[in-house]
Amino acid sequence: MKRVSLLVATLFLLAACNGIKITKTMLKMMVSAYSKPSSEHFYADSCENRVGIPYVENGDPAQVLDVYYADKAVRKDAVLIDIHGGFYIAGKRENNRRFASVFLKEGYDVVLLEYRLNDGKRDVYDQLSDCAAGLDYLATHAEELGLNRDWMFLTGDSAGGHLALYMAEGTRNWTLPVRPREFKTAGVLLNCPAYDFATFGESDSFARSALEWFLGPRYQDKEWMKSMSPRTHIESYFGPLFVSTCTNDFIRSQSLILKADCDSLGHWGHLSPDSSAPKAPFEFVEIASDDKQVDHVHNVTRPDLPESREVNRKMVAFMDGCLKETP
């Protein structure tokens, strides 16, 4: 009962931040994020893999990652690193094995990265620190793991989109409070991302204890919240960027704000800010559908839907396009 109450409260928090109503679909998605990893067999499970690799010595059980290798017949010698979502308090890397399977079949090695969840004492700083540690581990151990560190793409869904974009920003802006030191990304692909994190602490619909659980004990520190927000640092990143959302995404406004910011910055297009070289590619995908299953992070949780296949095909094409260029 306590867990169910937490799920419902979390949904209402995000809804309050975005001026929307709770739906059964949202509740179902949140319960899914809290569920145990599926025992169903996916294509990823048949691939060569190394599961449960600790990226912090003597660290927390959650500070691990899984590496799945594409079949040699189709392998492109490029990596997609996936950071799962779950509203900062839920989710498991193993739950994204079905999603990983899509890209393994297309020749991409896939890494599923786990991180410690918020518990009222930890907060997004700790999660970002975990992601930075995991990414640096991959960069420094790439040869040992048989991965190409020159072609490592980042993807994240929902809260994982926040973490992935912030990590990408940190590879180019050394003033960020937490960032990877060795890792460089070849591009970032975000699905229904949380983006303007600073606004999440402005809700007056919840007791202090609830907000501390979801966002961490520093949620009242507006400057700190702003420093943890990808929106604050978006001008730092001008590499390849892919963003997807859909009309049923209950935090769709976050993706629209991100697109508007990117459009106004002008980092993406034909010419780079400091030379005549081509700018990095930018692609924004918005799926219009009346199907209630085509909702928040549908292409991750339900990759077999026609609309999900469309998004994931475009993700593959986006990365394939990047591979034609020098990193």
Who wins on pLDDT, 280 or 247? 247
Domains in the chain: boundaries: 2-36+45-323
Say if CB 156 and CB 165 are below 8 A apart. yes
Q: What is the pLDDT of residues 168-186, one digit of tens each?
A: 999 999 999 999 999 999 9
Distance (Å, whole) CA 321 – CA 222: 39
Residue 302, token pair as written in the block: 């339900």
Residue 303, token pair as written in the block: 């990759």
Q: How confident is the model at residue 39 (pLDDT cuts 50, 70, 90)?
A: low
The kind and range of the H/E element at 156 are strand 152-157
Strand partners, 244: 191, 285
Strand partners, 49: 68
Distance (Å, whole) CA 87 – CA 206: 16
Cα 83–chain centre separation: 5
Q: What is the pLDDT of residues 186-230, one digit of tens each?
A: 999 999 999 999 988 776 656 677 778 788 889 889 999 999 999
Distance (Å, whole) CA 159 – CA 195: 8
Q: What is the pLDDT of residues 120-179, one digit of tens each?
A: 889 999 999 999 999 999 999 999 999 999 999 999 999 999 999 999 999 999 999 999
Residue in the block written with tokens 């799962």 = 84
pLDDT for residue 230: 97
Which among 117, 107, 45 has a CA at the least distance from the CA of 83? 117
Specify the DSSP class assigned to residue 302. Answer: -
Say if CB 162 and CB 127 are below 8 A apart. no
What CATH number does the domain located at 2-36+45-323 have? 3.40.50.1820
Distances (CA, A) of 152 to 81, 85, 136, 148, 204: 7, 19, 12, 7, 40
Distance (Å, whole) CA 152 – CA 213: 33
Residue 35 has pLDDT above 90, yes or no: no
pLDDT for residue 271: 41
pLDDT for residue 1: 46
Distance (Å, whole) CA 166 – CA 209: 26
Q: What is the pLDDT of residues 52-92, one digit of tens each?
A: 999 999 999 999 999 999 999 999 999 999 999 998 988 99
Residue 211, token pair as written in the block: 């907000």
Distance (Å, whole) CA 161 – CA 236: 16
Distance (Å, whole) CA 303 – CA 321: 22
* Region 277-288 average pLDDT: 86
Name, in order, each residue with C-beta under 8 angstroms of 183's C-beta and a sequence gap of 6 or more.
132, 135, 136, 138, 139, 149, 152, 167, 171
Residue 14 has pLDDT above 60, yes or no: no
* Sequence letter at residue 172: R
